[in-house]
C-alpha cells in the first residue's frame, strides 16, 4: 500500500510563483490606472478652485483678480487645492489673470494626461 505524501516543496513553490505572476499581471496595472485617474481628478479640483475663487473675488471686489497674490488672498484654500506652496506640486498652472473682465488659466496634471482650460464661463478638458 502506497502512502499519499501530499505536495512536495517544489510543487508548492511552483504554485506560489504562478499565483504571484497572476497577481502581478492582473492587479498591478489597475493600481497604476487609479493613480493616473486620481491625478487627473486633482487637476480638475484645482481648476474648480481657481474658477470658484475668481467668482468669489469678482463678487467681493466687482472684478476678477489681476494677480495670483490677489487671487490667493481671496481664498487661501485655493493654494492648498493647487499645491502652489509645494515646490513639488503635482499640477502645472499657467495663465494670465491680468484683466479685470476675464481670465484664462490652464491646469494640467504632471502625472496624468488631462489638461483643463479655466475661463469665467466654463472648465473644459483639452487633449
The pTM of this model reads: 0.66
Q: Which residues of 34-69 are buried (b: 16+ CB within 10 A; e: fewer)?
A: eeeeebbebbbebbbbbbebbeebbeeeeebbbebe
Q: What are phi and psi of 113, to 5 degrees?
A: -120, 5
Mean pLDDT, each 10-residue run in order, the chain (127 residues): 76 93 81 74 85 87 80 73 69 74 82 81 81
Domain count, the chain: 1
In a domain, 3, yes or no: no
pLDDT of the residue at 40 = 81
In a domain, 1, yes or no: no
Range of the domain at 103: 9-126
Measure the CA–CA gap between 53 and 55, rounded to whole angstroms: 5
Copy the grid coordinates of residue 92: 502645472
Amino acid at each position: 500500500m502506497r502512502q499519499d505524501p501530499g505536495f512536495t516543496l517544489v510543487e508548492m513553490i511552483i504554485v506560489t510563483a504562478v499565483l504571484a505572476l497572476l497577481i502581478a499581471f492582473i492587479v498591478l496595472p489597475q493600481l497604476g490606472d487609479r493613480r493616473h485617474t486620481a491625478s487627473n481628478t486633482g487637476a480638475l479640483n484645482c481648476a474648480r478652485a481657481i474658477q470658484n475663487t475668481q467668482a468669489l473675488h469678482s463678487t467681493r471686489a466687482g472684478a476678477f483678480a489681476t494677480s495670483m497674490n490677489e487671487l490667493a488672498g481671496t481664498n487661501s484654500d485655493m493654494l492648498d487645492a493647487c499645491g502652489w506652496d509645494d515646490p513639488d506640486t503635482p499640477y502645472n498652472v499657467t495663465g494670465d489673470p491680468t484683466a479685470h473682465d476675464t481670465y484664462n488659466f490652464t491646469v494640467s496634471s504632471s502625472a496624468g494626461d488631462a489638461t483643463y482650460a479655466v475661463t469665467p464661463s466654463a472648465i473644459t478638458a483639452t487633449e
